[in-house]
């Protein structure tokens, strides 16, 4: 992270954020899984022709899952850097962050089920 002023600083913040996303994508298996599911859901959304409101629900819920995964990873990196040896409190913080990802993923799965299950049922029963 560089400290400067003006437009360069604003642009640099996007560069830094992109590097962070690339790092998480390269190092975190769960992030790649969530991202892959998001890509499949986008394809399904186009395939089933979901409405604008359904797109909003899908994109927001998937974005929250990816964001939660990035925050979880950031907390893990920071905790490991500050306290590299095993510590009960650090372990509890990591577990809580992972629990946050799980909550977001379950909520997103429910949104996906609400949007896609009726369409999938209609498609299957029309075969």
Q: Could you tell me the mean pLDDT of each successive run of 10 residues in the chain, 127 residues long?
A: 62 92 96 96 96 98 97 96 92 96 98 96 90
To the query of whether residue 54 is one of the catalytic residues in this protein, the response is no
pLDDT of residue 3: 55
Q: In this structure, which CATH number among 1.10.10.60, 1.10.287.3610, 1.20.1630.10, 3.40.50.150 belongs to the domain 31-125?
A: 1.10.287.3610
Active-site pick, 28, 54, 69, 85? 69
pLDDT of residue 9: 75
What pTM value is reported for the model?
Answer: 0.86
Q: What is the DSSP letter of 50?
A: -
Q: Could you give the CA distance from residue 35 to residue 19 in angstroms, rounded to a whole number?
A: 17
Residue 91's CB: how many other CB atoms inside 10 A?
12
pLDDT of residue 4: 54
Cα 86 from chain centroid (whole Å) = 27
């Amino acid at each position: 992270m560089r400290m400067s002023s003006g437009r360069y600083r604003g642009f640099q913040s996007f560069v830094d954020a992109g590097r962070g996303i690339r790092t998480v994508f390269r190092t975190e298996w769960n992030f790649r899984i969530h991202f892959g599911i998001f890509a499949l859901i986008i394809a399904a959304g186009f395939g089933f022709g979901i409405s604008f409101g359904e797109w909003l629900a899908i994109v927001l819920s998937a974005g929250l899952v990816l964001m939660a995964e990035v925050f979880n990873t950031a907390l893990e990196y920071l905790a490991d850097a500050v306290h590299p040896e095993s510590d009960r409190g650090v372990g509890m913080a990591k577990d809580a962050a992972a629990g946050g990802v799980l909550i977001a993923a379950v909520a997103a799965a429910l949104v996906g089920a609400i949007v896609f299950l009726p369409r999938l049922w209609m498609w299957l029963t029309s075969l």
